[in-house]
Amino acid sequence: MKKVFLYDTTLRDGAQSERISFSLEDKIRIAQKLDEFGIDYIEGGWPGSNPKDLNFFKRIKEVPLRHAKIAAFGSTRRAQVLPEDDANLKALLDSDTPVVTIFGKSWTLHVTEVLRTTLENNLKMIYDSVKYLKSFGKEVIYDAEHFFDGYKADPEYALSTLEAASEGGADWIVLADTNGGTLPWEVEEILEKVMERIKKPIGIHAHNDSGLAVANSIVSVKKGATQVQGTINGYGERCGNANLCTIIPILQLKMNIEVVPEEKLSQLTDLANWVSEIANLPPDPSSPFVGRSAFAHKGGVHVNAVLKNPKSYEHIDPAKVGNKRRILVSELSGTSTIVSKVKEFNIDLDRDSPLAKLILDKITHLENEGYYFEGAEASFELLVRHLLGQETKLFDLISLRVLIEKIGDSGETITEATLKLNVKDQIVHVAAEGDGPVHALDQALRKALIEFYPELKNIHLSDFKVRVINGNAGTAAKVRVLIDSTNDKGDTWSTVGVSTNIIEASWESLVQSIEYGIMKVREA
């Protein structure tokens, strides 16, 4: 099998994603990370588009890269302009990159209706632009925009556009499924025809509008394409681009094509999460290979089998891509799940023990009441420890009161919580204000406990989610409150509370969050 080159366009096509706006600093950091990971080509942006992209190419020249080549992206020359007078081609050359990628039109509809020029002139635009860039010694990648749609409309014309690029001296001909509507077998058939005519290295650039970008990329490689363009996490305009985080492990683990060093592959999950952090988008838990749920087992039957042999429900070893197996506890669990899960807390339980059965019954009952342990593993651990008779309670509640006062439509809302607790046989009575009822309760609880549990100062609430469980009961519906917490070491944990009263559900979740945080500090 020939070498397959990875071409990343997260910084250009990925940035065309609806919710993404990378800063210049973000772009530099992502480029460095992609280089370290072993990506062959990094498309940095369109220098003719905006000052940020222009500056990216200035800045990246100062950054020592180990492996990747930086590509600047743009279009062929404008219809009525000579290459040497074309502002876009000038900006590409000014970027001073070793690689320049230009896209041109393959589809007659785009030539006549979008460029509004003749079919003949479009061929000249492609040929002239590539030839001009080649005369400056650039590696030129020609992206044939809408190639598959163009081929379906007029195969001869679409092929003649590739010939124009090839004759102009393009080093690569990349076929783009720009609208993402092509099916894998169409890609295969069309690629075969292209390869009969064009004797240049071929690449694929697929969009995901039919959910087929990865499939179309993979069949292209199978047919002989040696460059795959895509983005980290599949970011891109509309439904995104081909997801390199899916393509890389498929090529490497299933098709035996080494595209990155093996040790880098085991950093793929970290890379995906890191880029999503920079993009300020939550990671997609269902993302193949790298998602948090990619190797999460929930059904009792699955967990039972995975514990006997992971291959029974895992298509690869998660460690190969830096991910990990997770066993989820829920009403769908069996005793095998419980035994395996409590082992994570260093508790050995026999599968046939009454305690394993008791924990399972309790979970099933509580989930029926609206609890959700899969998303609140700290609450599960506390529950197990209580059932084992281990004391984790920090205090006894004597009374709790929350007052909310607002006078007049424009008056400020004041929220105050009062707590009376028995902490280590001392009665503590405190009040605190907060931005809302949960904040006020949190503030009061901290005030009451800090002198007994000074570790509390390093525990913080990071997220608070409320979900109505039986919505048709209106305001009498039960609510589930999930609280995420963190500590100064970066550990995170989640707890759950359920009640028809949002304050009570929040209190339950809040108390557990603090109990768990203190328990972990003391264990350590």
* Residues near ligand CC(=O)C(=O)O, by CB under 6 A: 13, 103, 143, 145, 176, 178, 205, 207
> C-beta of 135: minimal distance to ligand CC(=O)C(=O)O in Å?
23
Out of 29, 32, 36, 49, which residue is the one contacting ligand ACO (CB under 6 A)? Answer: 49
The residue type of 389 is G
Instruction: Name the binder of 500 from ligand ACO, ligand CC(=O)C(=O)O, none, CB < 5-8 A by kind.
Output: none
Q: If residue 230 lies in a helix (H) or strand (E), which one and from where to where? A: strand 227-230
Rounded Cα gap, residues 504 and 498, in angstroms: 8
- Smallest distance, Å, CB 145 to ligand CC(=O)C(=O)O? 4
Closest CB to ligand CC(=O)C(=O)O: residue number: 176
Residue 357's SS3 state is: helix
Q: What is the DSSP string of 79-102?
A: TTS-GGG-HHHHHHHHTT-SEEEE
Q: Does 48 bind ligand ACO (CB under 6 A)?
A: yes
Would you say 202 and 224 are in contact if contact means Cβ atoms under 8 Å apart? Answer: yes
Cβ proximity to ligand ACO, 12 vs 362, nearer residue? 12
CB of 289 to ligand CC(=O)C(=O)O, least distance (A): 24
**Which of the choices ligand CC(=O)C(=O)O, ligand ACO, none does residue 104 contact, using the CB cut-off of 5 to 8 A by kind?**
ligand ACO
Place of tokens 């007994």: 452
Structure tokens at 7: 């071409």
Q: Which does 458 bind (CB under 5 to 8 A by kind): ligand ACO, ligand CC(=O)C(=O)O, none?
A: none
**DSSP state at residue 260:** S
Shortest reach from residue 176's CB to ligand CC(=O)C(=O)O, in Å: 3
Which CB atom, from 243 or from 415, has the smaller least distance to ligand CC(=O)C(=O)O?
243
**Residue from 75, 95, 267, 485 that binds ligand ACO (CB under 6 A)?**
75
Q: Applying CB under 6 A, does 249 fall inside the site for ligand ACO?
A: no
Rounded Cα distance between 195 and 164, Å, is: 15
Q: Which stretch binds ligand ACO (CB under 6 A): 41-49, 294-302, 392-400, 476-484?
A: 41-49
The label of the residue with tokens 């050359």 reads 93
CB of 88 to ligand CC(=O)C(=O)O, least distance (A): 14
114: contact with ligand ACO by CB under 6 A: yes
- For residues 452 and 434, the answer to whether their CB atoms sit within 8 Å is no
Q: Give the max Cα distance, the chain.
A: 91
Report how far apart, in Å, the C-alpha atoms of 234 and of each of 17, 47, 157, 160, 399 are: 10, 22, 31, 31, 52
Residue for token pair 């062959």: 40
User: Binding residue for ligand ACO (CB under 6 A) from 145, 284, 374, 508?
Assistant: 145
| 76 lies in the site for ligand ACO, by CB under 6 A | yes
Work out what residue 76 binds among ligand CC(=O)C(=O)O, ligand ACO, none; the CB cut-off runs from 5 to 8 Å by kind: ligand ACO
Distance (Å, whole) CA 298 – CA 246: 23
160 sits near ligand ACO (criterion: CB under 6 A): no
Q: How many CB atoms are located within 10 Å of the residue 52 CB?
A: 16
Radius of gyration, alpha carbons of the chain: 29
Nearer to ligand CC(=O)C(=O)O among residue 62 and residue 113 (C-beta) = 113
At 269, list the tokens.
Answer: 């999950």
CA 409 to chain centre: 42
Pairing of strands 172-177, 202-206: parallel
* Residue 332 backbone class (left: φ over 0; alpha: ψ -120 to 50; beta: rest): alpha
The verdict on 46 binding ligand ACO (CB under 6 A) reads yes
Contact residues for 290 (Cβ-Cβ < 8 A; gap 6+): 245, 268, 269, 272, 273, 283, 321, 322, 323
Of 103 and 235, nearer to ligand ACO (C-beta) is 103
The order of strands in the sheet holding 459-468 is 459-468, 479-487, 492-499
With respect to ligand CC(=O)C(=O)O, which residue has the nearer C-beta, 194 or 268? 194
Instruction: Provide the mask over 178-217, with x wherever binding to ligand ACO is found by CB under 6 A and - wherever it is not.
Output: x---------------------------------------
Which CB atom, from 119 or from 461, has the smaller least distance to ligand ACO? 119
Q: Between 26 and 143, whose beta carbon lies closer to ligand CC(=O)C(=O)O?
A: 143
E strand map for 407-515: 413-423, 426-434, 459-468, 479-487, 492-499
Query: One symbol per residue from 78 to 107: x for binding ligand ACO (CB under 6 A), - otherwise; what is it?
Result: x------------------------xxx--
**Closest distance to ligand ACO from the beta carbon of 249 (Å):** 26
Do the Cβ atoms of 246 and 234 come closer than 8 Å? yes
Residue among 99 and 307 whose Cβ is closer to ligand CC(=O)C(=O)O: 99
Q: Which does 205 bind (CB under 5 to 8 A by kind): ligand ACO, ligand CC(=O)C(=O)O, none?
A: ligand CC(=O)C(=O)O
Q: Applying CB under 6 A, which of residues 6, 60, 92, 115 lies at the interface with ligand ACO?
A: 115
Report the nearest approach of ligand CC(=O)C(=O)O to the CB of residue 450 (Å).
56
3-state helix/strand/coil string of 314-340: CCCCHHHHCCCCEECCCCCCCHHHHHH
Candidates 114-122, 255-263, 291-299, 412-420: pick the segment binding ligand ACO (CB under 6 A). Answer: 114-122
Dist. CA 40–CA 34, nearest whole Å: 9
HEC per residue, 120-141: HHHHHHHHHHHHHHHCCCCEEE
Q: Which chain residues interact with ligand ACO by CB under 6 A? A: 13, 16, 46, 48-50, 75-76, 78, 103-105, 114-116, 145, 178
